[in-house]
Amino acid sequence: MNIESYQNLNLKPYNTYGIKSIGKNVYFPKNEDELICLLKTKKGIVIGNASNILFSSSGVEEDLIFLKNLNKIKDNGETVYAEAGVKSPVFSNYALDCGFTGFEFLIPIPSTIGGNIYMNASAHGEAISDYLVSVRVWDKDDNKVLELQKDEISFLYRKTTFNQNPNKYVILGATFKKRKKDKSEISTLMENIKKIRWEKQPSLKTPNAGSVFKNPEGLSAGKLIEEIGFKGKKSGGAMVSLVHANFIVNEDNATSDDIVNLMYEIQESVYNKFKVRLEPEIIYIGKNTEKTEKIWKK
């Protein structure tokens, strides 16, 4: 197969943090067959839109497989199938056009269907697993495609079967059931969600990767960070957002070290004051340092 690939590719255009990092070997399969071909021969890291990923500015030695071309949606009547690379706003708008609900919360999120399932994305009382029927996966152990039913998959807050055992499955796509709703109601809800998003979280015009830390049970990570006085705190080109303290923005050509330094300070300061250890929500890819090993508990 003639699979699109690059050596020593600048990853800055391929991550929402806008971090400059060089990927040693990067692949862009055009379809599921090409993806499976790669998975049979490469031990690569599979990536959707890299909207919650921090690439190391020192570069990435691991093979990277981006799913931007696996972006097909298929209507199956009472259900709908979306490939793993379908972007969240695209799927949310598709649901609106077809008049089914449950995916309004995806409209402002720069993620993909595969990434949403991997992390069990949720917001505004909705979760990606709510209307899930099954997930089509590549089983790395048995080298075959499987269809996992929802009840075979564990979905907890930002924890799933997939991210708790990342060496087992690769998400190829997912089937969702349709629950009909008036289009005007869906549209109104989507507009309200977008309004809340732009008022309470920083825009992607200032590059970021969404929430940096998971919310501890019963607590708000953003509130804890705000209470230690870190809003507006800077490290190099990175800054803790003035809009929402659980966002670190790339304000001026930040490096991964700038962001890691802030994360480390936040984690230590929050623990020292509240005895709460914040767990990162974003994923780090690249060479580890003493700080990244502590933050992500490598």
Q: Known catalytic residue: 83? A: no
CB 240 within 8 A of CB 222: no
Is 281 noted as a catalytic residue in this protein? yes
Residue of 223, 290, 297 lying closest to 261 (CA atoms): 290
CA distance 125 to 25: 39
Q: What is the spatial distance between Cα 30 and Cα 37, in angstroms, rounded to a whole number?
A: 11
- Are 71 and 173 in contact by the 8 Å Cβ rule? The answer is no
Enumerate helices (H) and strands (E) in the chain, giving the number of each.
8, 18
Q: Which ranges in 73-112 belong to alpha helices (H)?
A: 88-98
The one catalytic residue in 5, 158, 227, 279 is: 158
Active-site residue identified among 56, 57, 211, 269: 211
DSSP string, 199-233: HHS--TTS---S-SBPPPTTS-HHHHHHHTT-TT-
Does residue 213 contact residue 280 with C-beta atoms inside 8 Å?
A: yes
Burial track 207-219 (b if 16+ CB lie within 10 A, e otherwise): bbbbbbbbbeeee
In 3D space, the residue among 201, 208, 58, 78 whose CA is nearest the CA of residue 131 turns out to be: 78
Residue 211 bears catalytic tag: yes
Task: Kindly name the residue from 251, 265, 279, 281 that is annotated as catalytic.
Answer: 281
Q: Which residues are catalytic?
A: 158, 211, 281
